[in-house]
Chain A
Amino acid sequence: MFGLFRVELQARSTYRAQIVLGALGWVVPLAFMALWRGAAADNPVDGIDQAQFTTYFGVLLALSNLSLTGNVVFAMSSRIHNGQLSVMLMRPMPPTVVPVLESAATNVFRLPVVIVAVPLIVILGGGVVRGGVSVWVTAVVVAVLGAVAVAYVATIVATVAFWLTKADGVMGLVVGLEWVLGGMVAPVVLLPQPLPTVLVHQPFWFAQGAPAQMLAGIGDVSAFGTIAEAAVWVVGLHLLLRVVWRRALRRYEAVGT
Chain B
Amino acid sequence: MIEVDHLVRTFDITVRPPGLRGALRSVVHRESRTITAVDDIGFRVGAGEIVGFLGPNGAGKTTTLKCIAGLLTTTSGRVRVLGYDPAARDSEFLRRIGFVMGQRWQLHVDLPVWESFDLHRVIYRLGKQEFADTRDQLVEMLGLGPYVMQQARRLSLGQRMRCEFAAALLHRPAVVLLDEPTLGLDFEAQQQIRTFIAEYVAQTQASVLLTSHYLRDIEVLCGRVLTISDGRLTFSGSLAEIRATAGRDKRVRVRFVQPLTDGQVAELGALTGVTVVEVSRSQIVLEAAPGAIGRAVDTVERWVAVEDVDVAEQPLEDALTRLYHGGRP
Interface residues of A (CB under 8 A from B): 3-4, 7, 10-12, 14-15, 83-84, 86-87, 89-93, 249-250, 252-254, 256-257
> Which of A15, A90, A257 makes the CB contact (< 8 A) with B62?
A257
A159 to chain B, nearest CB (A): 15
The 4 closest A-B pairs by CB, nearest first: A3-B122, A92-B94, A92-B91, A11-B110
Is there contact, CB below 8 Å, between B103 and A256?
yes
What size tier do the contact residues of chain B reach? Answer: 35 or more
Is there contact, CB below 8 Å, between B119 and A257?
no
> Which of B72, B105, B119, B122 makes the CB contact (< 8 A) with A252?
B72
Taken together as a complex, chains A and B put the C-alpha atoms of A3 and B245 apart, in Å, by: 55
A90-B99, A92-B91, A257-B179 known; A10+B122 contact, CB < 8 A: no
A–B pairs, 28, beta carbons within 8 Å = A3-B119, A3-B121, A4-B122, A4-B123, A7-B115, A7-B118, A7-B119, A10-B111, A12-B110, A14-B110, A14-B111, A84-B105, A86-B101, A86-B104, A87-B106, A90-B99, A92-B91, A92-B95, A92-B123, A92-B125, A93-B123, A252-B71, A254-B66, A254-B71, A256-B103, A257-B66, A257-B103, A257-B179
Is there contact, CB below 8 Å, between B119 and A90?
no
Is there contact, CB below 8 Å, between B108 and A7?
yes
New A-B contacts (6) at CB < 8 Å, excluding given A7-B119, A87-B101: A10-B111, A86-B66, A87-B104, A91-B123, A91-B124, A254-B71
Is residue B60 within 8 Å, beta carbon to beta carbon, of the partner chain? no
Q: Mark B173-196, 1 if CB is under 8 A from A, else 0.
A: 000000100000000000000000
A253-B11, A254-B66, A254-B71 known; A11+B94 contact, CB < 8 A: no
A11-B108, A11-B110, A257-B101 known; A89+B122 contact, CB < 8 A: no
Residues of A within 8 Å of B102, CB to CB, are 257
Residues of A within 8 Å of B72, CB to CB, are 252-254
A253 to chain B, nearest CB (A): 7
Is there contact, CB below 8 Å, between B124 and A92?
yes
Is residue B89 within 8 Å, beta carbon to beta carbon, of the partner chain? yes
Is residue B97 within 8 Å, beta carbon to beta carbon, of the partner chain? yes
Taken together as a complex, chains A and B put the C-alpha atoms of A3 and B118 apart, in Å, by: 9
Consensus secondary structure, chain B interface: mixed
Q: Which of B81-108 contact A (CB under 8 A)?
A: 87, 89, 91-92, 94-95, 97, 99, 101-106, 108
Taken together as a complex, chains A and B put the C-alpha atoms of A12 and B179 apart, in Å, by: 31
Taken together as a complex, chains A and B put the C-alpha atoms of A4 and B111 apart, in Å, by: 12
B155 to chain A, nearest CB (A): 15
Residues of B within 8 Å of A91, CB to CB, are 94, 123-124
B185 to chain A, nearest CB (A): 18
Residues of B within 8 Å of A83, CB to CB, are 104
Taken together as a complex, chains A and B put the C-alpha atoms of A249 and B87 apart, in Å, by: 9
Is there contact, CB below 8 Å, between B122 and A7?
yes
Is there contact, CB below 8 Å, between A249 and B73?
yes
B145 to chain A, nearest CB (A): 21
Residues of A within 8 Å of B94, CB to CB, are 90-92
Is residue B218 within 8 Å, beta carbon to beta carbon, of the partner chain? no
Taken together as a complex, chains A and B put the C-alpha atoms of A10 and B94 apart, in Å, by: 26
Can you name the residue of chain B whose Cβ is closest to the Cβ of A11? B110
Residues of B within 8 Å of A256, CB to CB, are 103-104
A6 to chain B, nearest CB (A): 8
B36 to chain A, nearest CB (A): 14
Is residue B52 within 8 Å, beta carbon to beta carbon, of the partner chain? no
A10 to chain B, nearest CB (A): 6
Is there contact, CB below 8 Å, between A3 and B123?
yes
Taken together as a complex, chains A and B put the C-alpha atoms of A89 and B71 apart, in Å, by: 7
Taken together as a complex, chains A and B put the C-alpha atoms of A3 and B99 apart, in Å, by: 22
Is there contact, CB below 8 Å, between B91 and A90?
no
Is there contact, CB below 8 Å, between B122 and A87?
no
Is residue B151 within 8 Å, beta carbon to beta carbon, of the partner chain? yes
Taken together as a complex, chains A and B put the C-alpha atoms of A11 and B111 apart, in Å, by: 6
Is residue B288 within 8 Å, beta carbon to beta carbon, of the partner chain? no
Can you name the residue of chain B whose Cβ is closest to the Cβ of A257? B101
Taken together as a complex, chains A and B put the C-alpha atoms of A15 and B97 apart, in Å, by: 34
B276 to chain A, nearest CB (A): 44
Can you name the residue of chain B whose Cβ is closest to the Cβ of A12? B110
Taken together as a complex, chains A and B put the C-alpha atoms of A75 and B122 apart, in Å, by: 22
Taken together as a complex, chains A and B put the C-alpha atoms of A90 and B94 apart, in Å, by: 6
A215 to chain B, nearest CB (A): 36
Can you name the residue of chain A whose Cβ is closest to the Cβ of B102? A257
Taken together as a complex, chains A and B put the C-alpha atoms of A250 and B87 apart, in Å, by: 9
Is there contact, CB below 8 Å, between A14 and B151?
yes
Residues of A within 8 Å of B116, CB to CB, are 7
Is residue B148 within 8 Å, beta carbon to beta carbon, of the partner chain? no
Residues of B within 8 Å of A14, CB to CB, are 110-111, 151
Residues of A within 8 Å of B122, CB to CB, are 3-4, 7
Taken together as a complex, chains A and B put the C-alpha atoms of A90 and B70 apart, in Å, by: 8
> Which of B69, B105, B118, B179 makes the CB contact (< 8 A) with A90?
B69
Residues of B within 8 Å of A11, CB to CB, are 108, 110-111
Residues of B within 8 Å of A252, CB to CB, are 71-72
Can you name the residue of chain A whose Cβ is closest to the Cβ of B11? A253
B184 to chain A, nearest CB (A): 15
Taken together as a complex, chains A and B put the C-alpha atoms of A11 and B113 apart, in Å, by: 12
B35 to chain A, nearest CB (A): 12
